[in-house]
Protein backbone atom coordinates (compact mmCIF):
# COMPACT_ATOMS: atom_id res chain seq x y z
CA UNK A 1 0.00 0.00 0.00
CA UNK A 2 2.87 2.36 0.81
CA UNK A 3 4.36 1.97 -2.67
CA UNK A 4 1.07 2.93 -4.34
CA UNK A 5 0.61 5.92 -2.06
CA UNK A 6 4.18 7.06 -2.70
CA UNK A 7 3.76 6.73 -6.47
CA UNK A 8 0.56 8.75 -6.90
CA UNK A 9 0.18 12.51 -6.67
CA UNK A 10 -1.68 14.42 -4.00
CA UNK A 11 -4.97 14.47 -5.94
CA UNK A 12 -4.90 10.71 -6.41
CA UNK A 13 -3.79 10.13 -2.85
CA UNK A 14 -6.99 11.75 -1.61
CA UNK A 15 -9.00 9.25 -3.66
CA UNK A 16 -7.21 6.18 -2.32
CA UNK A 17 -6.58 7.31 1.25
CA UNK A 18 -9.68 5.46 2.48
CA UNK A 19 -8.66 2.16 0.83
CA UNK A 20 -8.05 -0.69 3.26
CA UNK A 21 -5.79 -2.72 0.97
CA UNK A 22 -3.60 -2.23 -2.07
CA UNK A 23 -6.21 -4.06 -4.17
CA UNK A 24 -8.85 -1.52 -3.10
CA UNK A 25 -6.53 1.36 -3.99
CA UNK A 26 -5.78 -0.21 -7.37
CA UNK A 27 -9.47 -0.74 -8.12
CA UNK A 28 -10.24 2.90 -7.26
CA UNK A 29 -7.50 4.15 -9.59
CA UNK A 30 -8.58 1.83 -12.42
CA UNK A 31 -12.19 2.96 -12.15
CA UNK A 32 -11.13 6.60 -12.13
CA UNK A 33 -8.82 6.48 -15.15
CA UNK A 34 -10.22 3.67 -17.25
CA UNK A 35 -13.85 4.70 -17.21
CA UNK A 36 -16.92 2.67 -17.97
CA UNK A 37 -17.68 0.55 -21.00
CA UNK A 38 -19.10 3.49 -22.98
CA UNK A 39 -16.02 5.60 -22.28
CA UNK A 40 -13.76 2.77 -23.46
CA UNK A 41 -15.74 2.44 -26.69
CA UNK A 42 -15.58 6.18 -27.39
CA UNK A 43 -11.82 6.24 -26.76
CA UNK A 44 -11.35 3.22 -29.01
CA UNK A 45 -13.38 4.81 -31.81
CA UNK A 46 -11.35 8.02 -31.55
CA UNK A 47 -8.07 6.10 -31.73
CA UNK A 48 -9.30 4.03 -34.66
CA UNK A 49 -10.30 7.21 -36.51
CA UNK A 50 -6.88 8.79 -35.87
CA UNK A 51 -5.24 5.66 -37.28
CA UNK A 52 -7.48 5.64 -40.37
CA UNK A 53 -6.66 9.25 -41.32
CA UNK A 54 -2.94 8.87 -40.64
CA UNK A 55 -0.77 9.38 -43.70
CA UNK A 56 2.82 10.24 -44.42
CA UNK A 57 3.70 13.84 -45.33
CA UNK A 58 5.86 14.58 -48.37
CA UNK A 59 8.74 15.98 -46.33
CA UNK A 60 8.50 13.38 -43.55
CA UNK A 61 11.07 10.62 -43.12
CA UNK A 62 10.03 6.99 -42.92
CA UNK A 63 11.37 6.76 -39.37
CA UNK A 64 9.25 9.74 -38.28
CA UNK A 65 6.16 8.22 -39.89
CA UNK A 66 6.73 4.82 -38.29
CA UNK A 67 7.13 6.45 -34.88
CA UNK A 68 3.67 8.01 -35.32
CA UNK A 69 2.16 4.63 -36.09
Q: What is the tens place of the pLDDT at every residue in 4-33?
A: 777 888 878 888 888 889 899 888 888 888
H or E segment and range at residue 55: none
Looking at the structure, tell me whether residues 27 and 43 fall in a common domain: no
| Claim to verify: residue 6 and residue 21 sit in the same structural domain | yes
* 65 — pLDDT class (breaks 50, 70, 90): confident
Quote the pTM value: 0.48
- DSSP secondary-structure letter at 20? S
Q: Does 46 have pLDDT greater than 90?
A: yes
The pLDDT, as a whole number, for residue 8 is: 83
Average pLDDT of 27-51? 87
Same domain for 21 and 9: yes
Name the nearest CA neighbour of 14 among 25, 1, 2.
25
Nearest Cα to Cα of residue 20 among 34, 37, 5, 41? 5
Q: Residue 49: is its pLDDT beyond 90?
A: yes
Domain count, the chain: 2
Considering the domain architecture, whether residues 3 and 30 belong to the same structural domain is answered as yes
Amino acid sequence: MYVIQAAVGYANFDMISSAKSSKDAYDILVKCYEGGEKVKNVKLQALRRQYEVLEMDNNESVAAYVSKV
